[in-house]
């Protein structure tokens, strides 16, 4: 075959072969790029899944549980628009919903258990209070009565603890009053429910009374704030009841260690959220005073605030009772039908002579009732600056002991009244 013919025949075949080789090389390069991209995509997805389980879901769970912190962003934002990214976001939402549901159920169960325990303790405290009151009416010995009053005071603190647990269990405090109480008697009642009541000094420049349905919530909130102030301060706790144009402010100042700005922010949050605060957010040991105050304030529509503006270097807490919760001071009587004792008697008022510690009265049916008269110490000008309760002393006359005990009973009467326990396990105050 001539050479020219071979060249003519073989040239197209060589060209075709070259085209095929170039095309094959292009296909191979493209396939290699797809393989590399697929391998990178698999590595990115594996890394994203690992990041999801190791960092993002735990952060979401902690944030749902109330812990401060940010949820880490995805490692590869370009995956957000893919189907894989949508599935990951679905897993995040699913984890959030499951955790929220689990926490809500756990919180509901915890509140139910707390409420059941609180109601049982309240029932026991009510029966114990009835027994103590019966003993106080049976005995005239000042030493026996003074010992009973110590037990009575401890029972009042126990009852307050049970009330706070009931409020924490998303329920009402468990006590109710049918008559209004003077604002000073409200503060005195709150003072009688804390351990360090001797260090509380009360002054008043207000003349009004709290409606009967609102007395117990205000007493409980003020008692929690007083207990907190006395616990963090070894000095006196000063309470100033001030008249305002649209209500009455109960200002509580202590000389304790104060609060940091972060603590003030947290306290404000607890007071604002009230009953919506989860049990798991109360800390260990649980701090329930501020959440209880917030829950009561939200339910009964008064205001509670705390800040670091106390002139004594500690914390100032303010309970503001609006006019809607108040009635005229001139129409107020206590549960015995007597006029309330003023917080600061007029300077010209003289001390009343000493009277017998006990007198006998009769009911409309003719049954005898033994009660203690109001002691002279309560109406003396010096009463505004001394404690409302008997103080221990090495040498004390029988008459002085009786007067002090009667004074304690008068203050306690402003606090409690006669408590009974109804069939639905609720304390009702007459």
- pLDDT of 76 strictly over 60: yes
Q: Is residue 373 part of a domain?
A: yes
The closest alpha carbon to 265, from 221, 314, 308, belongs to 308
The answer to whether residues 204 and 231 touch, using CB atoms and an 8 Å cutoff, is: no
Residue 87 lies in a domain: no
Which residues are within 8 A (CB) of 54 and not within 5 positions of it... i.e. 6 or more apart?
none
Assign 211 a pLDDT band (cuts: 50, 70, 90). very high
Q: Could you tell me which of 219, 228, 125, 216 has the C-alpha nearest to residue 172?
A: 216
- Per the domain annotation, does 60 fall within a domain? yes
Largest CA distance in the chain: 154
**Distances 137 to 155, 158, 306, 398, 406 between C-alpha atoms, Å:** 17, 22, 41, 17, 12
pLDDT at 386 over 70: no
Note the pLDDT of residue 17.
79
pLDDT at 8: 59
The size of the chain, in residues, is 430
The confidence score (pLDDT) of residue 4 equals: 59
**Does residue 97 form part of some domain?**
no
Strands 200-205 and 237-244: parallel
Per the CB < 8 A criterion, the answer to whether 222 and 215 are in contact is: no
**Does residue 399 have a pLDDT over 60?**
no
Q: Are residues 160 and 44 in the same domain?
A: no
Our separate counts of H helices and E strands in the chain read 10, 12
What total of structural domains would you count in the chain?
2
Res 343: pLDDT? 37
Same domain, 76 and 121: no
- pLDDT value for 293: 94
* pLDDT at position 194 over 90: yes
Question: Does residue 102 form part of some domain?
Answer: no
- Residues 6 or more apart whose CB falls under 8 angstroms from that of 73 comprise none
Q: Are residues 113 and 48 in the same domain?
A: no
Query: Are residues 315 and 244 part of one domain?
Result: yes
Residues 56 and 168 grouped into a single domain: no
How far are the Cα atoms of 9, 192, 245, 339, 421 from residue 186, in angstroms, in the given order? 118, 10, 20, 14, 22
Does some domain include residue 415?
A: yes
Question: Cis ω on the peptide bond leading into residue 285 (within 30° of 0)?
Answer: yes
Pair 27, 134 in one domain: no
Supply the DSSP symbol for 343: S
Q: Is 120 helix (H, G, I), strand (E, B) or coil?
A: helix
Within a domain: 212:
yes
Residues 15, 135 share a domain: no
Which DSSP category does 1 fall into? -
Domain match, 322 and 370 both: yes
Phi-psi category of 351—alpha, beta or left, where left has phi over 0 and alpha has psi -120 to 50?
A: beta
Same domain, 65 and 116: no
| Overall average pLDDT of the 67-94 stretch | 86
Q: What angle do CA 369, 371, 372 make, to 5 degrees?
A: 165
pLDDT of residue 215: 93
The reply to whether 289 and 361 lie within a common domain is yes
Check whether 83 has a pLDDT greater than 60. Answer: yes
Q: Where is pLDDT greater, at 330 or 52?
A: 52
DSSP reduced 3-state for 252: strand
State residue 23's pLDDT score. Answer: 82
**Domain end call among 81, 116, 144:** 81
Dist. CA 249–CA 241, nearest whole Å = 6
What's the predicted TM-score (pTM) here?
0.65
CATH number of the domain residue 150 falls in: 3.30.565.10
Domain that holds residue 189: 108-429
Of the three residues 34, 63, 81, the one that is the final residue of a domain is: 81
- Assess whether 74 and 119 both reside in one domain: no
Average pLDDT on 34-45 reads 86
Within a domain: residue 296?
A: yes
């Amino acid at each position: 075959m001539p050479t020219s013919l071979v060249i003519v025949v073989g040239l197209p075949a060589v060209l075709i072969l070259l085209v095929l080789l170039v095309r094959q090389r292009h296909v191979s390069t493209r396939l290699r790029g797809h393989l590399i991209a697929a391998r990178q995509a698999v590595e990115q997805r594996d890394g994203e899944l690992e990041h999801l389980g190791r960092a993002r879901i735990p952060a979401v769970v902690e944030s749902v549980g109330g812990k401060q912190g940010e949820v880490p962003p995805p490692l590869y934002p370009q995956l957000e628009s893919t189907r894989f990214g949508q599935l990951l976001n679905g897993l995040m939402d699913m984890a959030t919903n499951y955790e929220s549901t689990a926490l809500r159920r756990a919180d509901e169960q915890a509140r139910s258990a707390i409420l059941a325990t609180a109601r049982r303790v309240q029932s026991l405290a009510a029966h114990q209070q009835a027994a103590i009151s019966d003993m106080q009416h049976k005995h005239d010995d000042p030493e026996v009565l003074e010992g009973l009053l110590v037990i009575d005071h401890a029972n009042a603190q126990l009852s307050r603890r049970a009330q706070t647990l009931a409020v924490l269990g998303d329920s009402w405090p468990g006590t109710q009053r049918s008559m209004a109480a003077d604002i000073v008697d409200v503060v005195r009642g709150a003072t009688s429910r804390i351990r360090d009541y001797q260090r509380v000094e009360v002054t008043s420049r207000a003349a009004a009374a709290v409606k009967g349905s609102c007395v117990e919530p205000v007493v409980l909130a003020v008692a929690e704030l007083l207990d907190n102030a006395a616990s963090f301060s070894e000095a006196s706790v000063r309470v100033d009841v001030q008249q305002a144009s649209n209500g009455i402010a109960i200002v509580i100042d202590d000389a304790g260690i104060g609060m940091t700005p972060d603590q003030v922010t947290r306290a404000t949050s607890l007071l604002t959220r009230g009953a919506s605060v989860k049990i798991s957010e109360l800390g260990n040991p649980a701090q329930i005073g501020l959440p209880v105050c917030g829950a009561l304030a939200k339910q009964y529509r008064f205001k509670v605030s705390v800040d670091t503006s106390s002139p004594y270097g500690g914390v100032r807490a303010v309970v503001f009772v609006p006019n809607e919760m108040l009635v005229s001071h001139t129409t107020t009587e206590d549960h015995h039908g007597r006029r309330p004792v003023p917080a600061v008697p007029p300077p010209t008022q003289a001390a009343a002579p000493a009277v017998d510690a006990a007198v006998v009265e009769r009911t409309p049916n003719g049954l005898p009732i033994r009660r203690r008269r109001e002691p002279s110490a309560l109406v003396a000008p010096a009463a505004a600056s001394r404690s409302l309760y008997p103080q221990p002393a090495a040498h004390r006359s029988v008459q002085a002991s009786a007067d002090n005990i009667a004074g304690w009973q008068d203050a306690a009467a402003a606090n409690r009244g006669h408590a009974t326990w109804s069939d639905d396990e609720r304390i009702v105050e007459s």
